[in-house]
Chains A and B, each alone.
Chain A
Amino acid sequence: MNSQLPSPQAASGAIPPRGTGAPLHRRRPWILTLCLLLVAVLFAYPFAWMLAGWFKSNRELMMPTRFWPSTLDWSAFRRLVGGEWFPFGRVWFNSLWVAFWQAAGAVALSSLAGYVFARHTFRGRHLLFMLSVTVIVIPAQAMAIPLFSWINGLGLTNHLAGVVLPGMVSGLGIIYFTQAFRHVPTSLVDAARVEGANEWRVYLSLLPLVRPAMVSFGLIHFILAWHQHLIPLLVLSEARQQTLPLALSSLYGSSLRYPYAALMVGSTFAVIPTAILFALLYRRLQTSLSRLLPH
């Protein structure tokens, strides 16, 4: 295939293609950027509001149109991070741990399964694929009883593993990676197969080609895992085993004597890891997704 590698600028569309005399692009950026900025402000509002909420009293927080805090009261931050209500550092780490391993595990398992579904035929493949997809379709609430019963039976109650292991099963991942492996050119698959008869080696050698999918799906699953509520609630008991969203929700929605500002601080810390991950992987994600999609 002839190399159609686009020049970066052309691919981004910022420079109009040759031979068209399309002046529109040049005149547009600032209008578009303005609209974009407006939309971005709108979308970033929840996060900004959350940051401003660090310093507000309960009463102030509950004023819908008020954005700026009246004073810079750091007490909620100090009390929360200092562990007055629950061991903050430990709980934050729990969340990180759980989300990370869920993402890693889901990526590993889904990519393996995706490869098999995409590149093998065997009896029962369609049925198995359908069953795998069923995972996404059934809400956790409906399966809470049997799932928790089973996790408890395995002795995983109050263990982080009791949240991590079930979370490694992802129907979305199956769809994602099956599609990714289907789009790997057949010629490459055949070539890899010729070189090493072992399917495991073939899989490994194809991995770099789906790295885009791995990175992007890993991030999505990380985010979803971080926000998980029901399974952690059921499985984790002690304060020091809980995940951050869980520990925070026990502050909010109960008595009103606890500063909501603490909730704001805690939640910001919940966003930080995903934000950092995103920042680190941004460029990889951008290019990776492009390669994920069919040409």
Chain B
Amino acid sequence: MQAAASLPSSPSLAGRVPWLLAPYLLFFLAFWLLPLAGGVRLSMQSDVLYGDSEYVGRKHYRALLQDPRLLKALANTALFAAGSIVLILPLALLLAQALRETWRGWRPVLTFALLLPGLTPPVVLALLFLLVFHGEAGLLNQWFVLPLGGQAINWLKDPDYILPALVLQSVWRWTGFVTFFFVAGMNAVPAALYEAAHLETTSRWSVWRHVTLPRLRPVILFAVIYLVIDAFSLFAGAYVLLGGSGGTADAGLLLVSYIYHQAFVLGKFGTAAAVSVLVSPLLLGLLWLCFLVPKRA
């Protein structure tokens, strides 16, 4: 995103909130801001499930800051997001390039095939991933690990492999979408630019680096943002693999799982709200960074 100051503004409206924003503001206020305020208030109330709760101020926040599990959840989620991004982006780029170079008629079908995991309902994926990521009898082991000479991995129970399993399912689910966006992005690059580049160098890699990739920056940024959001605030990923639990030694404990556990297993809705209030500035900061990096480059 470019700096705000460089854009002209309609002089007559400078300073006042445009009324055009009203519809959005209405919904935003009604269905987001007010509940958010309610959530902040809830985070400062005692965790009583039934009956009157009382004001406890920052009690939950203090308790959370001392909870090693929260830190673990954050660390896991960060690793999960990083792992997904690191695997999905290059893979999607490769696939996008491959898609562009393949025969025209095949493209819609292949693209659609890639998108399918993202379209399939989480409840089905939960069932399927149970079978895929199972221990010795699981599909992944039977068709890939064992034939390649490895030892059967207990993906869902072995603490060393739970996070990799989470990353794998994320790759499976989202690579198609990201590929799709990359293809569009690549199509947007005018041929003349390619021609000019090819005049200067015959290295494919060089062309890529200097023409394609810079042009894809907004798309890459968007993909990164989407994957970060999926890792930190969408429940489906944790749900399809672990049913929302943290797994052995909390190896698969994600932030959303932690919040779900506080709210729905322990009945501590105040604490759960506090987690979000506590963590969201961090995440906003992260997103802000995502926007800043392209500017600096």
Contacts and interface: CB of A to CB of B under 8 A. Distances in A.
Interface stretch (B81-89, B157-165, B233-241): B233-241
A253 to B, nearest CB: 8
A74 interface: no
B39 A116 contact: no
A165 B264 CA distance: 25
Contacts of B108: 279, 282
B44 interface: no
7 contacts: A14-B100, A14-B101, A17-B191, A165-B30, A179-B222, A282-B111, A286-B187
B151 interface: no
B191 A112 contact: no
Chain A interface bracket (under 10, 10 to 19, 20 to 34, 35 or more): 35 or more
Interface string A138-175: 11111111110111001000000000011011001001
Given A32-B102, A199-B13, A65 B35 contact: no
Interface residues of B, number: 117
A267 B123 contact: yes
A130 B185 contact: no
A181 B287 CA distance: 20
Given A121-B7, A122-B16, 10 more contacts: A11-B187, A17-B191, A33-B98, A65-B142, A116-B20, A138-B39, A143-B273, A144-B263, A172-B225, A279-B112
A64 interface: yes
Contact of A143 (B18, B39, B123, B283): B39
Contacts of B234: 139
Interface string A220-263: 00010011011000000000000001001100100000001001
Nearest to A244: B121
Contact of B276 (A19, A138, A166, A245): A138
Contact of A142 (B2, B100, B103, B263): B263
A290 interface: yes
Given A121-B4, A138-B280, A293 B191 contact: no
B156 to A, nearest CB: 12
B116 A43 contact: yes
Nearest to A26: B101
B80 interface: no
Interface string B179-191: 0110111111111
Contacts of A65: 137, 139, 142-143
Interface in B135-169: 137-139, 142-143
B100 A263 contact: no
Contacts of B23: 108-109, 112
Contact of A40 (B31, B114, B190): B114
B124 A264 contact: yes
Contacts of B247: none
Interface in A184-216: 186, 190, 193, 199-200, 203
A109 B25 CA distance: 9
B14 A122 contact: yes
Contacts of B233: 136-140
A278 interface: yes
Nearest to B287: A133
A116 B20 CA distance: 7
B191 A178 contact: no
Q: Which of A16, A108, A139 has the most CB of B within 10 A?
A: A139
Contacts of B2: 182
Contacts of B275: 142
Given A64-B139, A199-B20, A293-B219, A145 B194 contact: no
Contacts of A25: 101
Which 4 A/B pairs are nearest by Cβ-Cβ distance?
Answer: A146-B38, A289-B184, A10-B191, A142-B276
A205 to B, nearest CB: 13
A290 B184 contact: yes
B20 A115 contact: yes
B1 A178 contact: yes
A93 interface: no
Q: Which of A6, A140, A252 has the most CB of B within 10 A?
A: A6
Contacts of B184: 285-286, 288-290, 292-293
Q: Which of A41, A61, A134 has the most CB of B within 10 A?
A: A134
B62 interface: no
Nearest to A13: B100
A72 interface: no
B106 A249 contact: no
B252 interface: no
A295 B190 contact: yes
A71 interface: no
A122 B127 contact: no
B18 A116 contact: yes
A81 interface: no
B219 A141 contact: no
B295 interface: no
B198 A139 contact: no
Interface in A4-31: 4-7, 10-14, 16-20, 22, 24-25, 28-29
A24 B191 CA distance: 17
A290 B117 contact: no
B121 A165 contact: no
Interface string A259-295: 0100110010011001100110010011111111111
Nearest to A67: B139
A233 B199 CA distance: 59
A119 interface: yes
Nearest to A123: B15
